[in-house]
Amino acid sequence: MKNKKATMKDVAELAGVSVSSVSHVINKTRRVEDETKREILNAINNLKYTPNLFARSLKGKGTKLLGVIIADIRDSFFAEVVKSIEFSALENGYNVILCDSENKWEKERVYLDTFIAHQLDGIIYAAADINKVHTDLAASNIPFVQIDRKIKAYDADFVGIDNVSSSCEATEKLIEQGCRQIGYIGFSNHVYTSKDRLKGWKDALTAHAIYQETLEFQLPYHDTGSDGNLEKYFSDHLQIDGLICCNNNCCYEAILEIEKTGKKIPNDVKIVTYDDTKWFDFLKYPISVIVQPTEAIGRISVECVVERIDNRSDRIRKEIVLSTEYIQRK
């Protein structure tokens, strides 16, 4: 069996330094203290580390690169945002390296390490976990923009929507239609969007004195059935007459389980979900949606990171919150 090839992260750990310091020594992008440099070179020699030359060769040809990390390429929201990012990047003279973290911090960290190590021009990414800060990214000189999900500890631009107010508005719509037992299906509160959408749902119900904590349900991010837990949720809460879904994957799972209870949509249960799809118009169920401006999120995130690349001295953080559209289906 072949030995595992050493990575830049391995070098950094052996030398007791950051990945960015190793990158600066290898790529000669910044002066590193002599003692630190010696430790890094010794670690490189001991591990017999050889750099991956792909990104370096592209940079050597003058290619401008943006690294993009999204949480789930299978999610229609991210697919549309990535399409917009790619189009806008090409218009601005940049190529895109796309990575899918599958909403896992461990994968996200590896991708960020790689981007930092190869000193990409800029980074656009949606964080998997609001509690995980990549210290090397925060300390690096690479401009980056957060999309959809925000880690407040970063001194970085953010492009997304107001998840709290949009969820609150959707819940108010259900209340106006006579719903009083309104559930919420989302993900862990480590996911920024789900945490804020949960808050909007809770705020609206609390304002009308009809909030019930037991009507909240958290799905694993890549769930397909949740081992029967979602089925039990609906069988235990047959009184539910309205439902807010964090995204259309949650909505799909919810519809499957509601059907099993024999309840009808929308006569018995009215549903609102985030992110529209062209197939919703052809479903036998009318699903109302909160539509996010995916084209604008992708385009503006590229504009922000390019502006940062061109003017690194401007450190005032921008928070660009875009409007959503509510589509009521009868």
For 176-235, the pLDDT digits (tens) are: 999 999 999 999 899 999 999 999 999 999 999 999 999 999 988 765 445 568 989 999
Do 107 and 218 share a domain, yes or no?
Answer: no
For residue 6, is pLDDT > 60? yes
For residue 132, is pLDDT > 60? yes
Average pLDDT over residues 100-129: 92
Average pLDDT over residues 84-93: 94
Structure tokens at 46: 């001991």
For residue 50, is pLDDT > 70? no
- Mean pLDDT for the chain? 88
Determine the pLDDT at residue 81: 97
Domain count of the fold of the chain: 3
In this structure, the number of other CB atoms found within 10 A of the CB of residue 25 comes to: 23
In this structure, the number of other CB atoms found within 10 A of the CB of residue 226 comes to: 17
Determine the pLDDT at residue 37: 84
Q: In what helix (H) or strand (E) does residue 269 lie, and over which residues does it extend?
A: none
Do 219 and 261 share a domain, yes or no?
Answer: yes
The CATH number of residue 33's host domain is 1.10.260.40
Per residue in 232-274, pLDDT tens? 999 999 999 999 999 988 998 999 999 999 999 999 999 999 9
Do 116 and 129 share a domain, yes or no?
Answer: yes
Do 141 and 31 share a domain, yes or no?
Answer: no
- Cα(142)–Cα(308) distance, rounded to whole angstroms? 9
Task: Tell me whether residue 224 is in a domain.
Answer: yes
User: Residue 190: CA atoms inside 13 Å, Cβ hemisphere, count?
Assistant: 14
Determine the pLDDT at residue 329: 85
Confidence class for position 1, pLDDT limits 50, 70, 90: very low
The whole domain housing 175 covers 163-291
Determine the pLDDT at residue 314: 66
What's the full length of the chain, in residues?
A: 330
Per residue in 288-322, pLDDT tens? 999 999 999 999 999 999 999 988 656 678 999 99
Determine the pLDDT at residue 141: 82
The CATH number of residue 172's host domain is 3.40.50.2300
Q: In what helix (H) or strand (E) does residue 161 lie, and over which residues does it extend?
A: strand 157-161
For residue 47, is pLDDT > 50? yes
Determine the pLDDT at residue 2: 43
Determine the pLDDT at residue 46: 85
Do 219 and 273 share a domain, yes or no?
Answer: yes
In this structure, the number of other CB atoms found within 10 A of the CB of residue 85 comes to: 27
Do 151 and 168 share a domain, yes or no?
Answer: no
Task: Tell me whether residue 222 is in a domain.
Answer: yes
**Tokens 């409007």 belong to residue:** 323
pTM: 0.81
Do 122 and 242 share a domain, yes or no?
Answer: no
Do 244 and 192 share a domain, yes or no?
Answer: yes
